[in-house]
Structure 1
Amino acid sequence: MSDGKAFPILLSSAGRRAGLLNCFRQAGRRLNRDIVLHAADLEPDLSSACALADHAHGAPRCDDPDFIDRMLGISRDHGIRLIVPTIDTELAAYAEAADRFAAIGTRVHVSGPDTVAIVRDKNRTASVLDAAGVPVPATLTEQDLRRDPRAADWPVFAKPSGGSASRGLAVFRCASDLPDAFPEPMIFQTLLEGPEYTVNVFVDREGALRCVVPHRRLRIRAGEVEKGRTENRADLRAIAERLVAALPDARGSLCFQLIDDPRHGPRVFEINARFGGGYPLADHAGASFAQWLIEEELDLPRSAGDTWRDGVLMLRYDEAVFRG
């Protein structure tokens, strides 16, 4: 039963994030709240999350000058209380415009601009984390590597400094394997081997770390976990504590990835200042970040905590949404 008070939520760049949409829907049921789910996408008619939402909206790309104005218009017209970004490339625009949304009663689930600037620059991410005592792989810029190839611990793993979604990744065994030029700024890190983990963390609106949920990425498809299992590890929680402390204005749901290398130990190589693709596993294990965000916005008693189930296994499969 609902208490009749609608709480509209908008998933931005919703795409295939049907699992995240359902997490918010289930959170509303547990809280006895009427959650009205809106979803926006560049092609809403071809988005499964938009098809499953209560309302769907078209929106320009997040780098379009009209993007923020369009999202403000949707929020104003539909009384959106919470916007949930889902891709890295829209975070900076939302962080810079957060006050404009707040002025119309809409909270954007995004960390502050300082944190977003750090996590969107992978070279800076490595530098900031290293200075804070968070274990990271040795990292070089392209300029540093070409100036002194001996400074690298070959082989190296190369990735765009501002990339996302597994774009432009490569492994180089020696300096002679490098191409003459790259199409965008790159960083080069020690190639890590071993089990890969995603660690989901929740930081409350006051900036306190409330929950840490690691899961082992057993199988990955297109850069997203397909099969995973929660693992309660004190060493990964300690890393999460240092990592969050190094981010000046982190808020809400974030996740980071690491590899537990047998030679080097756990090394963090990626931070996403948003809900990660594997978040539904943490939610099912009892860490309902979606519910905790709603509680914050409605000034309800807060249930955020670090109690969740260890050893929960997620096995994803393809499912279709049919229209017409």
Structure 2
Amino acid sequence: MPLIVIACDMRPERSAACQIADAWHAVPRCDAPDYVDTLLAIVKEFRIDLVVPTIDPELFALAARRDEFAALGARVHVSAPEVVSVARDKHLTAAVLAAGGIPVPLTRQLGDADPRLCFPMMMKPSGGSASRGLQVIHRAADIPRKTAEPMVLQQLLNGPEFTTNIFVDQQGVLRSAVTHRRLSVRAGEVEKGRTDRDPRFWNLAEAIVAALPGARGVLCFQTIDDEDAGLCVFEINARFGGGYPLAHEAGAPFTQWLLEELCEIPCTAHDDWRGAVTMLRYDAAVFQG
């Protein structure tokens, strides 16, 4: 039976991904009360086997109701709700990882007095993504008294930045950890990157999976190799990262491994991927009419 991909978007007629999918459906915003119910109806109607969320704001709603999808015969590619909760809160991320012995930058909620704060600091939304709302704070007097959303202050790290894409099987075992150096970034997504085989990243991946026992499937974490603090983990994404195509090209086809698990055939997941593979991205056009 051929693989059929059905894409969803608020405005699918304006979505490039929807145009190249086999079919598409319009859905409400992911924070709308009927969003998950709409997806459940699509899953039921078309007998969909696998639901793959791609943006952070939809993860918790899907994780909380994944049993309803399972009752329809569909697996939602999402970790346990408690893992999503950690990944969506940068202050909680730092606290949970630090408790697991993982190096993280000093992170404090805005307004928390801490004599260890050493400016400049990075201010960022606690639940932000795609580099939204980042601001460097140079002195305590520059900290705003009110913000539109919860914010954190985080130790400003200086050094090369890396993303590690990991695959965790359904038994919770880390099977692959593919790291790339982020050579160039645009709007929070890697534009140019190169895979880097460094055992330190596998060690970090193992520690993160141990600290988040509900992690399943594909996740990624970001690190900076600071010139003073060393390698620090500052973010986790409980989903496919934007740089996943580089891991796939380097020999780690996470998508294939997910389908193998779904079809209940032996999973061929491994960590034998190629280092020094470089990705140079460019914009492409999808034409209609």
Q: TM-score, normalised by structure 1?
A: 0.88
**Matched residue SS, 1:213:** strand
Superimposed CA distance per residue, residues 230-260 of structure 1 (whole angstroms, 9 cap, x where no aligned partner): 0000011111110111012000000010111
CA contact (8 A) 1:114 1:248 kept: no
**Quick one: which of 88, 91, 100 aligns to 1:123?**
91
Which residue matches 1:58? 26
Which residue matches 1:20? none
1:208 aligned onto 2:173: yes
**Matched residue SS, 2:228:** coil
1:220 aligned onto 2:185: yes
1:180: how far off? 2.7
Superimposed CA distance per residue, residues 117-147 of structure 1 (whole angstroms, 9 cap, x where no aligned partner): 1111111110000000111001111121xx3
Superimposed CA distance per residue, residues 196-245 of structure 1 (whole angstroms, 9 cap, x where no aligned partner): 00000000011100000000000001110000000000011111110111
The one-letter amino acid of 1:76's match is: K
**Matched residue SS, 1:49:** helix
CA distance in 2, matches of 1:182, 1:52: 40
Which residue matches 2:246? 281
Aligned-residue Cα RMSD (Å) equals 0.8
1:164 aligned onto 2:132: no
Residues 36-51 of structure 1 mapped to structure 2, 5 A cutoff: 36-51=4-19
CA distance in 2, matches of 1:84, 1:112: 14
Alignment gaps of 5+ in structure 1: 6-33
Deviates most, 179-188 or 194-203 = 179-188
Residues 1-324 of structure 1 mapped to structure 2, 5 A cutoff: 5=1, 34-144=2-112, 147-148=113-114, 150-324=115-289
Q: TM-score, normalised by structure 2?
A: 0.98
1:176: how far off? 1.5
CA distance in 1, matches of 2:118, 2:147: 20
CA distance in 2, matches of 1:68, 1:178: 38
Aligned residue pair count: 289
Q: Among the aligned pairs, what percent are the same residue?
A: 56
**Matched residue SS, 1:268:** strand
CA distance in 1, matches of 2:178, 2:125: 27
CA contact (8 A) 2:176 2:269 kept: yes
The one-letter amino acid of 2:85's match is: A
CA distance in 2, matches of 1:163, 1:222: 12
CA distance in 1, matches of 2:171, 2:265: 15
CA contact (8 A) 1:198 1:256 kept: yes
CA distance in 1, matches of 2:201, 2:263: 32
CA contact (8 A) 2:129 2:188 kept: no
